[in-house]
A and B are shown apart, each in its own frame.
Chain A
Amino acid sequence: MSAVEIRRTVVGHQDIGSRFSPGQFTLFFATPAIFPGHAARTASFPKKEGQLRMTSSAAVAHAQVRFGFGARPDQPAPTDPVAWLTGQLQRATPVPGPSLSDCLTPYATMINGGGNQRDACLRIRVSEADNLIWQAVTTDQPFYERLIRFFANHFGLQGQANYIAGCSVGAFVRDVLRKHLFGKYADMLTAAVTHPALVASLSNYKSMAPNSTRARRLRARGQDAGLNENLARETLELFSVGVGAGYAQADVTAMATLLAGFTVNLQTKPYGGVYDPTMAAGTGMSSVIGVSYPNNNLGCLQALQALGTSDYTYRRLARKLAVHFISDQPYIGDVNKIFVALRQSGGDIRQAVLALISLDSAWRPLTKVKDIQDYNISSMRAVGLVANPAVTPSLAMAKMGQPVLAPPFPNGWDDQTSTWSGPWSVMQRLAFANYVVGVGPTPAPDTLLENTVAPLLRSYTASTLPALLAASTPSDSVKTILTLPEFLRR
């Protein structure tokens, strides 16, 4: 039977026909029989202790996929999905790694006359990227890890931008994101914008106020010296208030003036972010969106606090969270609930996350598609892969069009379904499923299915799959499960 014939048959199929829509991803609402937990849709988030307990396997599987990266065979399934999620918001998970200064050492050595250290710099970048992926593959706190990855993408970390950025993106994840995930957004923003990873990738480290001591000295020698407004513009546009706030070029220039001086110390240990007052204006004020700040370190930090606590910022962050975890086009009302949680708590990220998981729509069927990184992570988890030097997961992701900590632009990776579901992207996932099954031990297909998406199967899959698996080798059965439509969703 040709593909076209099969399609015609299926369109006529009573079970599917009414919902089949070739032009777009169609979500089949599973019936209560195979998605018992969908009763959770109508239940509100626990108003009182113990009011709601979703214990069905479907609600658990749903939470593991929507908020994590799916199950691992060597980890016990949670019994209560809400308690499982909230339990991951109690404290930061310590993840060991080299200090920022150690990460920057090869590059500092190189520019201080210590010879070619390019390979050492590249090795740091690759190992940090791989470690971040292995952390997601093996963690028993996958919701926490998804949140870390959300913020890494929010700040658009571009490790490919230059050596300083490449060496410091891993330290950024530890020192900015893991440290501030359960704090105030404005504090995370301040730590992020002044960290070498962003200071370097958005080219602020040589930016100086035109009238600064250093700029005047350089100009006297006939060298270029002045502002670079890259970090300032993206701080306003991407990390805080957004273009909707209506700022003008003068605000961007003012922000760049305030940021001038935030650079990277590569001269004496410990290497890292530093404020160099000889690069700053020092005197005078700069006005950003109607508020004037003194042109110094303190003034810049005040501006970042103001930006980080703006309603515009809260609304953008609320929408991004909803787009990432819930839907390409979230309801305004849902965004508003997260926004209110941020506003009432002074930007407490934990409160925003609690609002997110308490949305009714968080417990409705999954409509988004895993991007390449999430797909690969969830496949590696499903087959129970552990960190293995023969596998370089970041390399696979780069090949497949989503290099780790290296999006092409500072707005990070696009979160929309259409971005990641073109023909080539789909075929790459099939190729990765083929690859990953060859890397580790092949799990028993029945167990794999039971552990992962069995409770989420639509009726068509549930009725079609058994005969196909019965007629396939164990290895092909595993690949089939890893490429089920339900497995591609999040």
Chain B
Amino acid sequence: MGFRNNELVEELPHIRRFAISLLKHGDRADDLVQDCIVRAMANRNSFATGTNLRSWLFTILHRLFVDTCRRGSDRWTTTGVPYLIDSARVEPRQGDKILLNEVASAVAELPSTQRYVILLIGMQGYSYGEAAEIVGVPVGTVRSRLSRARNALREMLSLDDQDGVDVPYDREKSDHRGGLRLTA
């Protein structure tokens, strides 16, 4: 049971990236990550060695995020200086019609439950089943939250339809999904 410190340190960039995407504000995100570290260390003996440490940390992070949202604290609100608006961090590719910071700003407008799910699946590459386990809801709930989030993002963002579509053909999940390209 448990994990080594270096194993936790290896996961921190992923947890931090997620928290920053969730809250947008770097300082608040780091506060959330810090709380996650404290909770993880306090419960390290309940982590089953050989299982997925990152998923376990996302479960802890989710509980912390939900608890604080329920308390109504503005500590975790997404207002403030957006992390991505920092010009040093924005490197949009030439020709992109949707800048990364526009997507980030749109994600910040989503309800917290939808935001967590779409980031788990859309950014982290978790399957619906894995996301359901992390968030503690049925797969059907994940599916509907995701659909509502995508609907809202589509409405918030100005999109043209000149690109092709990357459609994965393999159910195996990873950070880099391969797939066939559908154009018409």
Q: Do A and B come from one complex?
A: no
- Residues of chain A whose beta carbon lies under 8 Å from any beta carbon of chain B: none
